[in-house]
Structure 1
Amino acid sequence: MHPTDESYILKLIDEGEHVHQDFKFAISDARKIAKSISAFSNTEGGRLLVGVKDNGKIAGVRSEEEIYMIEAAAKMYCKPEVNISNKIYRVQGKDILEVTIEESKNKPVCAIDAENKAWAYVRIKDENILADTVFLNRWKYNKEDERVIVTYSEREKHLLNVLEKNGELTLNKCSKLSNIPRITTSRLLADFIRFELVEQVFREHTFYFRLKEDITL
């Protein structure tokens, strides 16, 4: 063991769980861990520390089966497959597994559930959150030609004015107050975020949309 291995892991644990790090006491379900892999892949990448309790207490990896489950989650239960890297550290006489997940260049990465349905997740602070349709639209447009021009018609102006007047709104509220169909509102909000007119915030388990502070209509 390299003399800095233990201090490296203990330093990470001191950071707690955050947007780039999640603790896992144990791996018992490959499909569940696929959600975490999806979330990190769709956000900025990150790491799992397996064998660490939520409170930061070191428990240790119980068996090699947990490593196989993580690999199965990345290859079998993530679509597209995700490349991960594993490294085991010996800390306080116990094995801690560090799983490194890079940000995907091919978003969204979806986790496959027990009914074979695909769901995309994002990492917000220390939580894995199901991505909404606006995120899906943002990823869709990012795959398309960057030279696409967004039209700025009365409809776009109207939706931006609704946001300016009401502050933070949910997708449903944006659709209702602007009288624009929800599916169209979702696409327009994705365009606005892409061109840095609007920002998406997450609070109390709900996504909200608001004009960026430096935007004046």
Structure 2
Amino acid sequence: MQYFSLDDINNLQHLYKINLINSCSGFKSANLIGTKSKDGIENVAVFSSVTHVGSNPPILSFFCRPTTVTRDTYENIKTTGTYTLNHVNESNFEDAHHTSAKYDSSISEFDKTNLISEYRENCFAPFVKDAPIQLEMKFVGEYNIKENGTILVLGEIQGLYINENIVTEDGFINLSEAKVAAINGLDGYTFPKLKERLTYQRPKS
């Protein structure tokens, strides 16, 4: 096996190090976060850090990079308290990836891609049309990570829209049926296939 000590990692060429460390944690979720500014400008951006925090209340989290520069997603969430999570899938992953480009705050990524915004009920923030899973989220808290300046953002699910054919009788969402993407590192997209569901495990006697 190839071995990298911490000293080795710290001395790696910049891009090589970023790719290595972003890949070593394993596959990550691929989500588009939809927001809208108080001035009505829509924003959509791809994130690979959305994670389940708890089911009661239903809370999900994501990491925001340091706010040493303008972060439209973060600013819009803090200003309006509302955002959406939309699963990336095989039909839109290239456009989703393009939302990582650094556009000015006055420009909507919806206007620079084939992604289409849509609105549901009374949600202020836009959803991504045709996403197989769409979640309406309410900002409920944040934690500053002093070690690297990132921000852990917590949101509570306010509404959940799912394509009917991917929800099983016990509530399990079969992501592979919807061809939902996962991200390997920063720019590798894959579409996992469900192998097997295993039963709840108890200690062996």
TM-score > 0.5, shorter chain as reference: no
Structure number with higher strand proportion: 2
- Give TM-score scaled by structure 2 length: 0.31
- Give TM-score scaled by structure 1 length: 0.30
